[in-house]
Every structure is written in structure tokens, then in C-alpha cells.
Structure 1
Amino acid sequence: MKNIITLLILIAITISCKAQIIAVENFEDYPNELPDGAYIKDVNNVLGKYVGTWKGTYNNKNYDFKIVKYTENNIDLKYKEDMLLIRYKITDSSGTELANTLSLPNSSPYIIFGRYLAKSGGYVLNYQGLNAKCGQNGRIYISTYGANDTKLQLLLMVSGEIYDECTTGAVPQIMPTTSMELIKQ
């Protein structure tokens, strides 16, 4: 009898755990609140096509993006989430470095971090530039296309929030505010 009760408890725990996995492509179906202990998981590897090094040129600037898949364990909000992180290096046409987040840790506010997979198939990320308090902030939208998803379309939808701590006024955007094309390396 004791073995049967133990077995039933293990089955209940297993079923409970499986019910808490939410595919990343279904994240938008939970607009208000996720169940405690949920795991927003890339069960179908839909984020995999974004992972890698992407390069492109926009407005005489060279962009080098490194995209990785990362699992964040959000203890405060009581869920885990598979997401994309983007680190980048931007140089001007003469090679002068304008911004570089390649060596920053995952916890840095300057790492572009994932929000959700849009129903359109693109991916939405949060962005804070090095001058975030002076308007370099918003959402980055990316989507792949071309044979074998080797091209990436990227653009920044500027929030443009300027905080009281900004004494210089709005600064120019360093990220593309119209669509740019990147090629997978």
C-alpha cells in the first residue's frame, strides 16, 4: 500500500511539472500572469535560428551581433524562461569603436535581452543603450529570412524615454531605427 501511495505521488508530481512548461511561441497567450513555477521553454527550437554571429552595415556603421540562447531563472517572478541575449560591437567606417558589449556579463543592463516571440514569427527584445537615460532605449525587433534563415532583419522601435538624470538632452540613436539586413557568419 505504501508503494502505491508513493507511486501515485510521483505520478502527480510528474504530471504537475509537465503542465507548467509553456512553449516560447505560446508566451503571448499569458498576457497577465504566468503560473508559479512555469518554464517558458524553447521546446520546438524556434529560437535556434537566431543563435550565432550576424554582421551588417547601416548608415556607415558596421554592426557585429552575437546572439545566444539563455535560460533565466527569475526567482522574483517564480518562473524560468528561455530567451535570446544579444551582445554587439559597433564601429564607424574608419574602424573606430562606437559601442561594445561583447565582454559584458549577462546581468548587464546593456545586454539586449529577449521578451517574447511575436505571433508574426519575429522576436522582440528590450534594449538600453549606453546612453539609455538620454533616449537610447526601446524594443529591438528581429526576424530571419532567406534560404536556411541566413539573413536577419533588425530594427529599433525607440521608446525615447529621457530621464531626469539626463542633463544633455536626447542623444542620437546608435541602433538602426529603420530595418537593416544582417548576414549570418
Structure 2
Amino acid sequence: MKTIYKILAVLLISLNAYCQVTQIVPLRTLSYDMPNGAYAKDLDNEFPFWIDTWEGVVNNKKYSFTFIKFAQQLRTYPNGNYRYKDLVVGKLKVTDVLTNQIIYDESSFTNYEDFIVNGNVIIGDEFHFGLYDKENHCYNSADFILVKDPNNPNQILYKDFSYDEYYECSTYQNQEDIPMFLPKVDLVLTRQ
């Protein structure tokens, strides 16, 4: 029995040694400039502005986005490399304002793997996001951009919705047939 414990201890120590942070780098560091095991950290505090609940109404639907940060998320790659990164993900809730009926709701998500709205990159005052749906929606994907309003820190512009890659599946004939709960038009979101 002691031998099994010793083997398990050595195995756990070796796994821990494999996945350790080797260097902390700024969030905007390009992937190919990062050494294996690096941690791309939000050293410049770019995320706090976005981390909140933002709401807007268009076409009789209220869209509520709640953005949260997941710190030091491990990313592994097929070649054996790994990196850590601070990430922003979003929860989406859509409500019909005429009936007050909830059309779509991700507000109960807590595990990083459950989120389908992911922050990809910040460029100036723009935060580029992607939606990467689950198997039941044929892994549908779309992109959008959030832009800071320089005149009002409590408002952002949601803009440039576009469909991304589509992999044919037997459930839906076309990508546009797959349920999409993101707004497809530009709108102003207000901090709640």
C-alpha cells in the first residue's frame, strides 16, 4: 500500500512540475513571443472596465450581458505546449420586453467550460468577442465587437455582428436556421 502512495505522490509531483508558470507576460503579448508555460496576465488592468452587467433593448428584446474574468486559465496545445491566460467570458440573457418572458438564459453558468461567449482581443477601445456554440447548435459561431463610449463610461456600443465558420450538420439546413440569441443589429448597452 505504501508503494502505491509513493507512486501516486511521484506522479502528482511530476504533473505539477509539468504545468507550472515559467514567466508572467503582459496580456497583449503575442503567442509566438511567449515561452512555454508563460502566463499572459492582465497587468495593465484592461479587464475591470468590462467586468459588469450591461443591458440594451432592441426589437422588443432586452439583452443582458454579464462579463466575468477567469484568471490564469490553462491552455494546452497538440504539440505539448501550454500557457496560462486571463480571460473574459460572458453570460447572455434575452427577455421579451412585451411579455417579460425569458427567451434565452445563461445566467446560471459558473464553470469556464460552459461559457459560449468569449473575449478574444482588446484593440484600443474595442473588445472583440466570439460566440462558440455547443453541439446541439452545430458548433455555430459568430463574432461581435464592444466599443467604449469616450463620453460615457457607463455605455458601450455593441456592433458588427457577423456569422463565423459553419460546419454542416444534419439538424439544420443553413447556418441562419440555427437559433442565434445574440443581437444581429448594433445597439447601446448600459452598465447596470
- Name the TM tier (shorter chain): 0.7 to 0.9
Q: Which amino acid aligns with 1:67?
A: F
* Structure 2 counterpart SS, 1:149: strand
- Across the aligned residues of Structure 1 and Structure 2, the Cα RMSD in angstroms comes to 2.6
Show the counterpart of 1:70.
70
Percent identity reads 20
Q: CA offset at residue 106 of structure 1?
A: 2.7
Show the counterpart of 1:97.
102
* Structure 1 counterpart SS, 2:49: helix
The equivalences for 1:63-142 within 5 A come to 63-77=63-77, 78-93=82-97, 94-118=99-123, 120-129=124-133, 132-133=137-138, 135=140, 137-142=141-146
For 1:75 and 1:176, how far apart are their aligned partners in 2? 29
* Structure 2, unaligned runs of 5 or more: 1-20
Q: CA offset at residue 64 of structure 1?
A: 1.2
The equivalences for 1:1-185 within 5 A come to 20-24=23-27, 26-27=28-29, 30=30, 32=32, 34-77=34-77, 78-93=82-97, 94-118=99-123, 120-129=124-133, 132-133=137-138, 135=140, 137-147=141-151, 149-155=153-159, 156-159=161-164, 161-169=166-174, 170-171=177-178, 173-185=180-192
| TM-score w.r.t. length of structure 2 | 0.72
* Structure 1, unaligned runs of 5 or more: 1-16
Q: Taking structure 1 as reference, are residues 81 and 61 closer, same or farther at Cα in structure 2, changes over 3 Å only?
A: same
| TM-score w.r.t. length of structure 1 | 0.74
Aligned residues: 163
Q: Taking structure 1 as reference, are residues 110 and 84 closer, same or farther at Cα in structure 2, changes over 3 Å only?
A: closer
Q: Which amino acid aligns with 2:168?
A: Y
